[in-house]
Amino acid sequence: MKTLLDIEEGQTVEIKEIKGGPCFKRRLAAVGIFPGSKVRVVKNAPGPIIVEVEKSRFALGRGMARRIVVR
Amino acid sequence: MKKKLIAALVGNPNVGKTAIMNMLAGTKAKVGNWPGVTVERKEGKYSFRGFEITLIDLPGIYSLTSYTIEERVTRNFLLNEQYDAVVNVIDATLLGRNLYLTLELLEMGVKPILALNKIDDIKKFSINFDKLSAIFNLPVISVSAYRNTGFSELSEKIIEVGLNGINGEVFRPTYSDLLEAAISEISMIINEDEQFKKNIRWFAIKLLEGDPEITEMAKQSKVSETLSKALSRIKTEFYERKGEELSSAIPKERFLMASRIARIVIETDYSFEEKEDFRDKVDRIITTPVTGIPIFFAIMAAVFKLTFTFSSPFVKLIGHIFGETLPTMVQSLPLPETLESLINNGVLAGVGSVLSFLPILFVLYILLSILEDTGYMARAAALWDNFMRHFGLSGSSVIPLILGFGCNVPAIYATRAMRSPVHKLITMMIIPWMSCSARLAVYSVFIAAFFQNNRTLIVLSLYTIGIVMGLIFAKIVSLFLVDEGEGEFFIELPSYKFPSLKVVFNQTIIEVKDFLSKAGTIILLASLIIWALASFPAGVRYAGEHSIAGMAGKWLLPLFKPLGINDWKPVVALLFGAVAKEIVVGTMGTLYGNAEMLPTILKTTFTPASAFAYIVFVLLYIPCIATISAIYQESGSKKWVTFIAVVELAVAWITAFAFYHGIKLFAG
């Protein structure tokens, strides 16, 4: 099972599943992070991970990124 | 009399709502807090074509659920308050994502005016306004705070909508069959309860999404039992058929709907770019500790250097006017002694200390808004997040804390940018321990007297004591304060851009005025109280042995004996230092009767150990009145202010005690 944390910088991946409560999922879905959407990993080094979704950039905590399963 | 209209500004974070409000309402805007919460409330009035329009800048949000406090504030305002028009401010460069909120507004029954901002930033495509307007049947206009365009059109629309509303059928988001069936079923059930009647479809959708607030509301309903059975059955069935949860299926469909609409109205290429660009590299460098931390310190050093370089001539000028020129003029007037003292030691000293903050605040705010506008702040927060988490804080706490080294007052105001109320509160609690420049004035006198050979070491150790105590305290407090779902770091990194100077300048004026009107009055009041304590009973020497302050100093002396302090004069200086820490030195100068010889005089009263304990106490005990009033204003709670004052006094005493005896033990 690969999560966002396993993705190299610069790669684009499709989100497979988001593990967590409904609030967590809704919050991410509102900015375009949901199963089926594509995100590009901009930075994956110590500290929050940076992803790009539909032209917006977000920094998310690594604990959060670990719960985002990708394919 | 002017006809009055109220318009609410709603939109995602970073779309430029505040810039739009500042352009329209100018420097007449006001900043405060929403009742009961520490979320910022901005409001501004302006006149247009005979109307007085009040703009309310609602907190920036991505969605209208009740997940964050900002979302709850915005949602409750839209549901329960009186307003004439809603302006949905949209970042045109991120149209798809921004329309998500538009769809939610429509679901809730709000018919907004769509104000597209940042049209100038669009390079590769254009937006067909007529098509967008036709799809939603809503007015669409373009505004630019940067170029100052579109504002009269926006005002005209606000008046038009305010007077006549938006007529006709507006777009209503419809979902896939399965979801629509679920929405109808829930609608049928809640139709039985009066409280849901005004907006059945919206309540049904929120219940299916699992919105905590609405779910709680439904529990009190008379249909709660039928409802909860139906909800759990629908959720299970949906999961079985679709393999995903209903609660995230609705937002997902809404997001896809918004993207679809964006694709229809966007007239050229809108493909998803996958190539690496320059921005990626910059983002990586800035947010990776090895490279990012040196850059961060360089930027903060530049901010301080510029702040103090630009503001110090003005601070000196104000000090000169209120400390020398005006007092001398007052002295030359034939006034009774008490009145003269009231004017000089009370009013002028108070006004002077309020005004002396202004140049610093002004320059600092300008620099900070520039940093915020360029997009750096969000990245600095991302850089520090991991480290700050260990202490119950978040990345956003770093900038306010660093600012605290310059002056605690703007540092407290800088916490306004923080999203999590708990992190904000903890950050405010520890800012007073970031050793501000006023305290440096106190240290330097004691260093001159006792630690000439170890200047740097002593100053460095004081800064370190403040930081370490702050982080330990933050850690302890964070164990008792529950963070509402904001625990995980999640922040948008806005595009880099060149800030608009007019917007920056207006914003600064608003913040400075805010400080003057709120903190200013408290500082003045405190100065007058201190003056009275030092002057009464009538006939005593100002702040002398027999004044109330002097008696209080003597009375409190036993408390300070364990810290090695054996004279009441430094104790009185501490009392006065509560107004502003630099006053500690001035007061001792007055009491010992010779300001120039103070270091020599201090040698007779203090030992090196008690001197160090005293400056540690000055560092840690209650912050100055201006800081306290800023904390009160930002937290909106007397309880927290009292807590901070009491705890910090206690910590100051314990730490000073430990250092006094520690030093005596090791240094003999």
In tens, the pLDDT along B52-70 reads: 999 999 988 999 987 778 8
Listed by number, the residues of chain B in 268-297 with a beta carbon closer than 8 Å to a beta carbon of chain A are: 272-274, 276, 280, 283-284, 287-289
Residue B419, pLDDT > 80, answer no
Taking an 8 Å cut-off on Cβ atoms, the answer to whether B280 and A10 are in contact is yes
Taking CA–CA distances from A34, the nearest residue in chain B reads B252
Q: Is B236 annotated as a binding residue?
A: no
User: What distance in Å separates residue A35's CA from the closest CA in chain B?
Assistant: 8
Three-state SS sequence of B1-49: CCEEEEEEEEECCCCCHHHHHHHHHHHHCEEEECCCCCCEEEEEEEEEC
Most B CBs within 10 A among A7, A55, A67, hence the mutation to make, goes to: A55
Cβ(B91)–Cβ(B258) under 8 Å? no
Structure token pair of residue B400 = 């306010």
Work out the pLDDT band at A27, boundaries 50, 70, 90: confident
Of A32, A45, A50, the CB nearest to B255: A32
What residue spans define the domains of chain B?
3-164, 177-243, 532-667
Query: Is B109 part of the contact surface with chain A (CB cutoff 8 Å)?
Result: no
What pairs with residue B212 in β-bridges? none
Work out the pLDDT band at B38, boundaries 50, 70, 90: low
Q: Is B494 annotated as a binding residue?
A: no
Of A12, A50, A61, the CB nearest to B283: A50
Of A34, A47, A56, the CB nearest to B248: A34
Taking an 8 Å cut-off on Cβ atoms, the answer to whether A57 and B493 are in contact is yes
Burial category of B584 from C-beta neighbours within 10 Å (exposed 0-12, middle 13-18, buried 19 and up)? buried
Architecture of the CATH domain B3-164: 3-Layer(aba) Sandwich (3.40)
In chain A, what residues touch B238 (CB-CB under 8 Å)? none
Most A CBs within 10 A among B64, B103, B275, B280, hence the mutation to make, goes to: B280
Query: Which is it for the CA torsion B35, B38, B39, B45, positive or negative?
Result: positive
Q: What CA–CA distance (Å, rounded) separates B301 from B306?
A: 8
Residue B481, pLDDT > 70, answer yes
Query: Is A25 part of the contact surface with chain B (CB cutoff 8 Å)?
Result: yes
Residue B301, pLDDT > 60, answer yes
Residue B136, pLDDT > 90, answer yes
What pLDDT is attached to residue B188? 93
Taking Cα atoms as reference points, which of B369, B330, B370, B366 lies closest to residue B347?
B330
Query: Is B251 part of the contact surface with chain A (CB cutoff 8 Å)?
Result: yes
* Lowest-pLDDT choice from B413-417, B489-493, B495-499: B413-417
Q: What is the mean pLDDT of residues B343-357?
A: 78
Q: What is the mean pLDDT of residues B29-42?
A: 75
What CATH number does the domain located at B177-243 have? 1.10.287.1770
In chain B, what residues touch A10 (CB-CB under 8 Å)? 276, 280
Q: What CA–CA distance (Å, rounded) separates B654 from B93?
A: 55
User: What distance in Å separates residue A62's CA from the closest CA in chain B?
Assistant: 8
In tens, the pLDDT along B156-199 reads: 999 999 999 888 889 999 999 999 999 999 999 999 888 888 88
Q: Is B26 annotated as a binding residue?
A: yes
Q: What CA–CA distance (Å, rounded) separates B279 from B51?
A: 44
Taking Cα atoms as reference points, which of A31, A44, A47, A52 lies closest to residue A2?
A44
Question: Any residues with CB less than 8 A from the CB of B163 and at least 6 apart, and which?
Answer: B84
Mean pLDDT, chain B, as a whole number?
86
Residue B545 is given by DSSP the state: T
Taking an 8 Å cut-off on Cβ atoms, the answer to whether B287 and A50 are in contact is yes
Taking CA–CA distances from B62, the nearest residue in chain A reads A30
Residue A23, pLDDT > 60, answer yes
| Tally of domains in chain A | 1
Taking CA–CA distances from B287, the nearest residue in chain A reads A47
B200 alpha carbon, distance to own chain's centre: 36
What pairs with residue B490 in β-bridges? A60
Query: Is B238 part of the contact surface with chain A (CB cutoff 8 Å)?
Result: no
Three-state SS sequence of B195-243: HHHHHHHHHHHHHHHCCHHHHHHHHCCCCHHHHHHHHHHHHHHHHHHHC
Taking Cα atoms as reference points, which of B234, B383, B223, B389 lies closest to residue B299?
B383
Q: Which residue has the higher pLDDT, B508 or B539?
A: B508
Cβ(B637)–Cβ(B36) under 8 Å? no
Residue B207, pLDDT > 90, answer yes
Listed by number, the residues of chain B in 491-510 with a beta carbon closer than 8 Å to a beta carbon of chain A are: 491-495
ipTM of predicted assembly, 2 dp? 0.94
Q: Which residue has the higher pLDDT, A22 or B133?
A: B133
Q: Is B58 annotated as a binding residue?
A: yes
Give, for B470, the enclosing helix (H) or strand (E).
helix B455-480
What pLDDT is attached to residue B78? 94
User: What distance in Å separates residue A3's CA from the closest CA in chain B?
Assistant: 17
Q: Is B60 annotated as a binding residue?
A: yes
Taking CA–CA distances from B97, the nearest residue in chain A reads A31
What pLDDT is attached to residue B175? 94
Burial category of A26 from C-beta neighbours within 10 Å (exposed 0-12, middle 13-18, buried 19 and up)? buried
Strands B40-48 and B51-57: antiparallel
Most B CBs within 10 A among A4, A16, A44, A56, hence the mutation to make, goes to: A56
Residue type, B192: E
Q: What CA–CA distance (Å, rounded) separates B68 from A27?
A: 9
In tens, the pLDDT along B590-622 reads: 777 666 677 888 888 889 899 999 999 999 998
Q: Is B622 annotated as a binding residue?
A: no
CATH of the domain at A32: 2.30.30.90
Q: What pTM, to 2 d.p., does this model score?
A: 0.82
What pairs with residue B3 in β-bridges? B51
Of B210, B255, B385, the CB nearest to A30: B255
In chain B, what residues touch A57 (CB-CB under 8 Å)? 283, 492-495
Three-state SS sequence of B92-108: HHHHHHHHHHHHHHHHC
Q: What is the mean pLDDT of residues B457-461?
A: 87
User: What distance in Å separates residue A29's CA from the closest CA in chain B?
Assistant: 6
Residue B449, pLDDT > 70, answer yes
Strands B85-91 and B3-11: parallel
